[in-house]
Amino acid sequence: MISPKRQGGSFKMAQKNILQFIILGLINDHPQTGYELTKSFDNDIGEFWSAKHSQIYPQLKTLEEKQYLTHTMEVSGEKLERKRYSITPAGQHLLTAWIAEPTINQTNGKDEFVLKLYFIHDQTDPRLTTMLEEQLQYHTEKLTHLKNQLSKKFPDGGDPANFGHYLILSHAVSRETEYYDWLNDALKQI
């Protein structure tokens, strides 16, 4: 396998609870309600992360308690209330720190890096090159590793007696190839 490398600092490294950063990122773009945040996960962002309202509402509460968010009340019609959340300077700090922090690539099919990218709007943002190159390095190693596996386990192509295994390894290789190509493309565009 591939060694994780890079650490994000010698002290503690709380990490995790990625949902909070996604919420912060979405609200940083513009103030919104819990309901609107929930819907975001049905759109593009849902391709890479999803969350239910039952997770979002409590998280909003927690983030407000920690003073990363504030809210104002709005009213629709006669009495339907909604809370529109805005990010605080402390919240923006936390968000920025999360984006800047080197991304540890998880093994579990979740891709934290892509989420960070989503919150970078400006094509000329100086963080882009570093972030993309860091990922490129990781995925280059991973692709090499997988290609080695494939040619080692199936030197003659699809083995009829181990077809499923062959198929998923091929899939893993082409999936990584796509990631690699995409990162290179992105780097070319900046």
Residues in touch with its own copies (CB under 8 A): 1, 42, 44-50, 107-111, 114, 117-125, 128, 146, 149, 158, 160-165, 167-172, 174-175, 177-179, 181-182, 185-186, 189-190
We find the least distance from the C-beta atom of residue 88 to its own copies, in angstroms, to be 22
Residues 6+ apart with CB under 8 A from 54: none
171's contact among DNA, its own copies, none, with CB below 5 to 8 A by partner kind, is its own copies
We find the least distance from the C-beta atom of residue 80 to DNA, in angstroms, to be 3
Q: What is the DSSP string of 80-130?
A: EEEEEEEE-HHHHHHHHHHHHSPPPPPSSS--HHHHHHHT---TT-THHHH
Q: What are phi and psi of 100, to 5 degrees?
A: -70, -35
We find the least distance from the C-beta atom of residue 34 to DNA, in angstroms, to be 4
Q: What are phi and psi of 106, to 5 degrees?
A: -75, 155
Residue closer to DNA by CB (options 75, 161) is 75
Residue closer to DNA by CB (options 6, 39) is 39
30's contact among DNA, its own copies, none, with CB below 5 to 8 A by partner kind, is none
Residue with tokens 């390894």: 169
Residue closer to its own copies by CB (options 10, 108) is 108
What ranges in the chain are assigned the alpha helix state H? 18-29, 34-40, 53-65, 89-100, 112-118, 127-153, 163-189
Which H helix or E strand runs over 71? Answer: strand 69-76
Please report, as residue ranges, which positions from 87 to 126 form the binding site for DNA (by CB under 7 A): 108, 110
Question: Computed from CA positions of residues 101, 104, 110, 113, in that sequence, does the dihedral angle turn out positive or negative?
Answer: positive
Please report, as residue ranges, which positions from 33 to 92 form the binding site for DNA (by CB under 7 A): 33-36, 38-39, 50-55, 57-58, 60-61, 75-83
Residue closer to its own copies by CB (options 100, 120) is 120
Say whether 37 sits in a helix, a strand or coil: helix
Binding site for DNA (CB under 7 A): 16-19, 33-36, 38-39, 50-55, 57-58, 60-61, 75-83, 108, 110
